[in-house]
Structure 1
Amino acid sequence: MAKLKFTKTALLALAPPEAGKRLAVYDTEVPKLAMRITAAGSRTFYVVKRAGASMAWVKLGAFPEMTVEQARTEAQKILGEFATGANPAAARRAIRGEPTFAEVFEQYLDEKKKRDGTPLSERTKRDYRDVLRMYLGPIKASKLSKITRAEVKAIHTQTTKKSAAQADRSVIVISSVFNFAADLELFEGTNPAGRIQKNPAPSRDRFAQSTELPHLFAAIAESSLCDFFLLSLLTGARRSNVQEMAWRDLDLDAGIWRIGMTKNGTPQNVTLSPEAVAALRVRKRTTGTSAFVFPGTGQTGHIVEPKKAWATILRRASVRRLLDHLESLGKLTAEERKRADKQLLEAPAAAEKRYRTIADALEIDPALYDMTDLRIHDLRRTLGSWQAKTGASLAIIGKSLNHKTHQATAIYARLDLDPVRQSVETATQAMLEAAGVKQPADVVRLPTRSSKQN
């Protein structure tokens, strides 16, 4: 346990810890006074006191906005409250009074745990801070008990004019912070964000059609992340789970991928088709000693943001569909097509601009070729849609995609993986055949690393 005499100079001189860790140091003058320093360099004063079987960290304020002397004075007051038998929340209220929304918001980001016991990710924290900064200005300086339902509804109404999704997210953030405050006994009363009517969710049923699959598979094969997108499609798993796929969770002989925790709070056994297993076996020989199937150079150790690669895939797939259409109209010679394909590989953005301009001049409807509205999540929907097209029941589709509904959960629980496997493999065969990638019972041949483009 690091100790030093707190002074402004000494505290500012402390170097932040490495990424993903926090440093705690204690004052020699008031031993229960501590400072936590994050990898980002933020410094916060706390009083640390045992409360039952656990340690309570009572947040005092951020340094240097709160001075060392102010922190020591407030720490002594709170320790006095502890001495009378007060719990951490009661001690905080007795000394500081009711906190503001912004204060509890920061404590929420710092202390909130997800269902699997892990802290909020840095990305989630960044997204929530953006919501606070952009939409929650009217309430962030208000005491919790002063925030009314009418204010929350007004925030929702105003934000909806800019983004219905962000309006709903704003209400969710407010509600979560109030629930967190109630759990810590920082707030008593009714959650003002409770039962606020959300905006109607736009229905999305987009998935890759049979006419799109040949172009999609061809563009995926040219990507440096082709394995990632191929496995996203063949497993139907959520993007975050594919990003975090670890070798220890894979049983390639049994064709099973065990996900310990999914977005809906439950584990999942994902059945792996022979094509998925083949792709993974090839990849195993190229990932070295990494614990992850898709290693990354960042803090997580795995890939975190495939959007740029996906945008390139969609650009190439769309332009190729357009080139096919131009050829069918007699607007493109064989030699011009060869040059167009070469440009599409080497400079996809320039190729897209050139041939979209031609399409506009010929008044070709973009709906005939444009695939850029296809999202990464639609790969998941594509597997489910092809399962339905090939005769799978809704219960089997729900089990294979780990959907969770009150009505179907009991049915899913009674299913074993055999019918799920049959359904996934049947859908995979149909998709690959529609794409012209393989004949029945063949194994997907992935391009070698050296042949892939970014």
Structure 2
Amino acid sequence: MPETTIRLTKRAVDQALPGSSRYILWDSDISGFGLRVETSGKKTYLVRYRPKGLGRVAPKRFMTVGRHGHLTPDQARAQAQIILGAVAAGEDPAAKVAAAKAAMIIKDAMDLYLKEHVKPKRKERTAEEYASALNRHVIPEIGNRPAEKVTRADLLKLHTKMKDSPIQANRTLSVVSSLYTFLGKRGVVPEGYNPVRGIDKYPEQGRERYLTSEELGRLGTAIIEAETIGLPWQVDETKPKAKHLAAPENRRTKLEPAAIAALRLLLFTGARLREILHLRWQEVDLERGLAFLPDSKTGRKTLVLSSASLEVLRGIPKNSIYVIEGAKKDQPRADLKKPWASIQLRAGLEGVRLHDLRHTFASVGAGASLGLPIVGKLLGHTQSQTTARYAHLDADPLRRAADLIAGQLSAAMHRGEEAAV
């Protein structure tokens, strides 16, 4: 098929329509600079050349410059001139790129992915989770493998190895899939190559744990004890060093007021952990009972503060720009792991997570028939499906209807018995 030569202007590129097979339009100004048009309509700028010094017998090399849309014709032409200039100087740019691709191992590819894609485009917490999944699970298994050599079998083996933690296994697989999409766009692997494709994920079951009234009573008692007389130490009296400890009546530890306040706010607002730990005083309007969060998991959010949460807030000294002061001046607190572990143990709430306080807040609202849209608004849900998990708790209207129907049936049956007698 004869080659078509035309000056590659924006108009010419825009008017190049897809055909029954892909074809290349070559630029009339720069020899070797062209536009490949796929049957799908995708248009890619490329360069064709022969390595210098090998003559006409040398095989032609093709090198991708970039996609039309990402590059204008003038930008692509400028890059093509640079590549062809390197060829004239005796270099082989396509061979160098191929060698770099083959040399990039997963570990280096991950560093590039986290630096140039995840950190600029994802929330800080999400970026930390991506990095954790890659560093903990992927690097130990395939970190030194060339990115282009990783196969579906490699990732299936990794996924199977994590079967005891199905949710984490699925999340890790999703992160690796995102990694390969990024690498394809950067030309590190062929575009569209993704070894995750075709691997079935493990079924996931949602975990909603709600505290009962009796458990809430134990939790409240443990919190009051922790902030007043302190929680008792857990001591094994059979150990030789136990006799050197303080007297039993003095073996108590009070928790920090900031940690106690944070736990109460989590329960009384239904907020997420980071929303409370990163809450700043400038975002709190005590008069109107609102907190304006500039960046929550679902974006900007207004937190409605209950009377109970306002009472907690008014009792917190303003020693920091953050409501819950951290270990360092004007830095947010990192977590509540240790104080929650102490409270959890004392209250006998084994297996209850801090996030379950949010579930409990939602369950009480749903159970009181406040309406799922209202509950979802309080929680900051952007989609109704997220709140729908609590629908089975909104049983009061159904229970009243069931009582009415069953009551009438029971009454009818009772009258029937009297008539028979």
Report the TM-score range of the alignment, normalised by the length of the smaller protein. Answer: 0.5 to 0.7
Does 2:336 correspond to 1:310? no
Equivalent pair of 2:114/2:127 in contact (CA under 8 Å) = no
Counterpart for residue 426 of structure 1: none
Counterpart for residue 257 of structure 1: 291
* Secondary structure of 1:214's aligned partner: helix
Counterpart for residue 154 of structure 1: 157
CA distance in 1, matches of 2:377, 2:341: 30
Offset at 1:185?
3.5
Equivalent pair of 2:106/2:143 in contact (CA under 8 Å) = yes
For residues 147-186 of structure 1, the aligned pairs below 5 Å read 147-160=150-163, 162-186=164-188
Equivalent pair of 2:107/2:139 in contact (CA under 8 Å) = no
Q: Deviation digits for residues 99-146 of structure 1, max 9, x if unmatched? A: 222211122233322546759766763453112244xx1x33333332
Of 276, 280, 305, 2:309 maps to 276
Of 376, 382, 389, 2:360 maps to 382
Counterpart for residue 103 of structure 1: 108
Counterpart for residue 230 of structure 1: 264
* Secondary structure of 1:207's aligned partner: coil
CA distance in 2, matches of 1:229, 1:82: 64
Does 2:131 correspond to 1:125? yes
CA distance in 2, matches of 1:169, 1:404: 22
Q: Deviation digits for residues 313-352 of structure 1, max 9, x if unmatched? A: 011112xxxxxxxxxxxxxxxxxxxxxxxxxxxxxxxxxx
Counterpart for residue 391 of structure 1: 369
One-letter amino acid matched to 2:106: F
CA distance in 2, matches of 1:235, 1:90: 58
For residues 219-368 of structure 1, the aligned pairs below 5 Å read 219-221=222-224, 222=226, 223-224=255-256, 225-263=259-297, 265-283=298-316, 286-288=317-319, 290-297=320-327, 301-318=331-348
One-letter amino acid matched to 2:100: R
Counterpart for residue 208 of structure 1: 211
Offset at 1:390?
1.0
* Secondary structure of 1:293's aligned partner: coil
Offset at 1:94?
5.6
CA distance in 1, matches of 2:184, 2:296: 27
Offset at 1:227?
0.4
CA gap 1:143/1:392 in 2 versus in 1, 3 angstroms: same
Offset at 1:197?
2.5
Equivalent pair of 1:168/1:199 in contact (CA under 8 Å) = yes
Equivalent pair of 1:81/1:91 in contact (CA under 8 Å) = no
Equivalent pair of 2:181/2:192 in contact (CA under 8 Å) = no
Unaligned stretches of 5+ in structure 1?
1-50, 53-79, 319-370, 412-454
Counterpart for residue 9 of structure 2: none
Offset at 1:245?
1.0
* Secondary structure of 1:113's aligned partner: helix
* Secondary structure of 1:269's aligned partner: strand
Offset at 1:184?
2.9
Offset at 1:165?
3.0
CA gap 1:116/1:154 in 2 versus in 1, 3 angstroms: closer
Equivalent pair of 1:388/1:397 in contact (CA under 8 Å) = yes
CA distance in 2, matches of 1:206, 1:295: 29
Offset at 1:159?
2.0
Unaligned stretches of 5+ in structure 2?
1-69, 72-81, 88-92, 227-254, 389-421
CA distance in 2, matches of 1:282, 1:210: 26
- Higher gyration radius (CA): 2
CA distance in 1, matches of 2:300, 2:220: 30
Offset at 1:298?
5.2
CA distance in 1, matches of 2:373, 2:330: 35
Offset at 1:271?
0.6
Counterpart for residue 192 of structure 1: 195
CA gap 1:178/1:214 in 2 versus in 1, 3 angstroms: same
Greater RCO, 1 or 2 (C-alpha within 8 Å, sep 6+) = 1
CA distance in 2, matches of 1:266, 1:129: 27
Offset at 1:403?
2.5
Equivalent pair of 1:395/1:408 in contact (CA under 8 Å) = no
CA distance in 1, matches of 2:198, 2:281: 43
Offset at 1:233?
0.6
One-letter amino acid matched to 2:216: L
Equivalent pair of 2:159/2:169 in contact (CA under 8 Å) = yes
Of 94, 97, 117, 1:93 maps to 97
Identical pairs, percent? 29
Equivalent pair of 1:90/1:185 in contact (CA under 8 Å) = no
TM-score if structure 1 supplies the norm length? 0.53
Q: Which moved more, 1:139-148 or 1:380-389?
A: 139-148
- CA RMSD in angstroms comes to 3.3
CA gap 1:95/1:273 in 2 versus in 1, 3 angstroms: same
Counterpart for residue 358 of structure 1: none
CA gap 1:100/1:173 in 2 versus in 1, 3 angstroms: same
* Secondary structure of 2:296's aligned partner: coil
* Secondary structure of 2:292's aligned partner: strand
* Secondary structure of 2:264's aligned partner: helix
CA gap 1:185/1:295 in 2 versus in 1, 3 angstroms: farther
Equivalent pair of 2:290/2:304 in contact (CA under 8 Å) = yes
